[in-house]
Amino acid sequence: MANKNIFNTLFHKNKNQENATHTHNQAGGIAYAFTPEHALAQFATTGCFNNTYYANAAEQLDQVRQLCEHVSPKFIAQTAIYAREKGAMKDMPAFLLAILAQKDVALCAQIFERVIDNGKMLRNFVQILRSGATGHKSLGTRPKKMVQNWLLHADEKQLLNAAIGNAPSLADVVKMVHPKPREAWQAAWFAWLIGREYRFEDLPPITQSFELYKQNRTGKLPDVPFQMLTSLDLDTGAWTQIALNGSWQQVRQNLNTFQRHGVFDKNKNTHAIAKKIADKQLVKKSRVLPYQLLTAFQAACNLPSDISNALQDAMEHAVENVPVFKGNIVVCPDVSGSMQSPATGYRGSATSKTRCIDVAALVSAAVLRQNPKARILPFENIVVGVKINPRDSIMTNAEKLAKIGGGGTTCSAPLAKLNAEKADVDLLIMVSDNESWADREQHFGSQTSLKKEWDKLKQRCPNAKLVCLDIQPNATTQAQNRDDILNIGGFSDSVFGVMGAFAEQDLHGDMWVKQIQAIEL
């Protein structure tokens, strides 16, 4: 069910009353509602359409649909681009593009290539349109032409990569849209894909080599996605070729598979793969999310130490754009019970091992790495004491922080501690699922406890700034945007740049939305 609190009349009546709360969060605590633009950006950079601790996938879907009714098509387009290019999200940008296909198909066509930048995204887009989630179950004439155009302009490697995966498979997509090949190799390849007759000599070279390898099982492995080879009962030598020739992301995602097939039995293989994982340029090019590296590291307990160390080096590269902040920095990771839920929601057997608390711990450790004098104050109902060594690696400190936790959520707890100490603060970063509910005062229409404590702190530290980083899809906050308060969502490394700009410049708290609105179409 859509969150009616976002659009109720009380919100619009009170939107200029800074201190009065006008809604409740999903945990039942009093809160402030985001504007529709900010709420959509929040969902676009954190939502994965999976069940979370407080909301299920269907509720997220309804909320995003509702929000799209209250913002312009242009902003939907800009948000889709931001979520894909800056947030490295998959399902949400494709969904917003599908919404645009219904609202403004010309605008959808204009941004199509920026959002649909690989075959996985193409299949996501088709799946969403065919599901009826946007109101229709057909692709429509113009979207069909966009899909055809992508297929006809993709090269052989792009098509082979797109052919990995189902529901729908690329073969299903080809059967739906019937692309009209312009060259003989395209006609042969599409026929090969969907199981129709083709001339072998017309197949492009990589696909030819794949078919020959299937018949002979000798020689060099064809340069196809390794998933196409796994059914062929490969030996250790073949798996080694896959590991050495695979893309950075393929290697990161399949380290345990390589271990099972004996790839790391030879030191030279281990060193070569470790070198690839730790390669700074490859890490940047891969657009890996920092939490994905943490997931790989958590699963690497039985892998060679060179591989574990390489993952730690990769993490340092992935978050190296964390700014060096001026003054007294405090980072407050939420370690409450709800933060034990998976960062990308519950997905059955595919559920990520990385939890929200891991992401909060990772952000805290990354800031500490660049700002060794920063203070870390984990909280649930109260502030939890923990000693963190800024000289330890990001992975080590993230693991240490993630081991604590439980209890309710009181976002005001670390601020109350700082006020009791009369501590000097220049920048305070809250990393939470933002579902504060355990505050003692829960009177609807009053200030949130966090807002009260922040106003107290501001009397002592008038230049202090507050950043609330939300890592779960949300339409509410504990402190509204203003000159000294920034709300931002997401768990890609791009959030660090936004935080740095806010801390260093005289910017209003709505700068994140303005940054999205500044995207040129």
Sequence-distant (≥ 6) Cβ neighbours of residue 281 within 8 angstroms: none
* Residue owning tokens 């890996």: 288
What does the pLDDT read at residue 22?
Answer: 59
What pLDDT is stored for residue 442 in this prediction? Answer: 55
- The answer to whether residue 15 scores a pLDDT higher than 50 is no
**Residue 499 and residue 462 in contact, taking contact as beta carbons nearer than 8 Å:** no
| Phi and psi at residue 486, to the nearest 5° | -120, 130
pLDDT digits (tens, 9 = 90+) for 128-163: 999 988 887 888 999 999 999 999 999 999 999 999
Cβ-in-10-Å burial (0-12, 13-18, 19+) of 451 comes to: buried
**pLDDT of 394 above 80:** yes
Q: Residue 349: what pLDDT? A: 63
Q: What is the pLDDT of residue 97?
A: 97
User: What is the rounded (10 degree) CA torsion for 333, 337, 340, 342?
Assistant: -100
Q: What is the pLDDT of residue 56?
A: 63
What kind of architecture, by CATH, is found in domain 329-517?
A: 3-Layer(aba) Sandwich (3.40)
Whether pLDDT at 466 is above 90? yes
pLDDT at 53 exceeding the cut of 80: no
The yes-or-no verdict on residue 351 having pLDDT over 70 is no
- DSSP for residue 221: P
Contact 139, 126 (CB under 8 A): yes
* Sheet of strand 23-24, all strands in order from the earlier edge strand to the far edge: 23-24, 30-33, 476-477
The pLDDT value recorded for residue 414 is 96
Per-residue pLDDT band for 8 (boundaries 50, 70, 90) equals very low
- Look-up: residue for tokens 């390669």? 279
Q: Estimate the crossing angle of helix 184-194 against helix 170-177, to 10 degrees.
A: 120
Return mean pLDDT, the chain. 87
pTM of the model: 0.87
Q: Is the peptide bond before 168 cis (omega within 30 degrees of 0)?
A: yes
Q: What is the DSSP letter of 158?
A: H
Pair of tokens at residue 298: 């958590």
Mean of pLDDT values over 392-406: 85
Give the span between the Cα atoms of 237 and 251, in whole angstroms. Answer: 16
278 vs 230, more confident: 278
Residue 1 banded pLDDT, cuts 50, 70, 90: very low
**Poorest-pLDDT segment among 128-132, 231-235, 267-271, 509-513:** 231-235
Give the mean model confidence (pLDDT) for residues 34-51.
84
How confident is the model over 368-385, as a mean pLDDT? 92
**Which range has the worst mean pLDDT, 120-134, 196-210, 350-364?**
350-364
pLDDT band at 406 (very low <50, low <70, confident <90, very high): confident
Higher pLDDT, 217 or 343: 217
Report helix, strand or coil for 266. Answer: coil
Give the mean model confidence (pLDDT) for residues 180-208: 97
Where in 393-506 does DSSP place strands (E)? 427-432, 465-470, 476-477, 485-489
19-33, 35-49, 441-455: the lowest-pLDDT one: 19-33
- Kindly indicate the confidence band of residue 272, based on its pLDDT and cuts at 50, 70 and 90: very high
pLDDT digits (tens, 9 = 90+) for 29-42: 778 888 999 999 99
Q: Please tell me the distance from the alpha carbon of residue 269 to that of residue 429, in angstroms, as a whole number.
A: 42
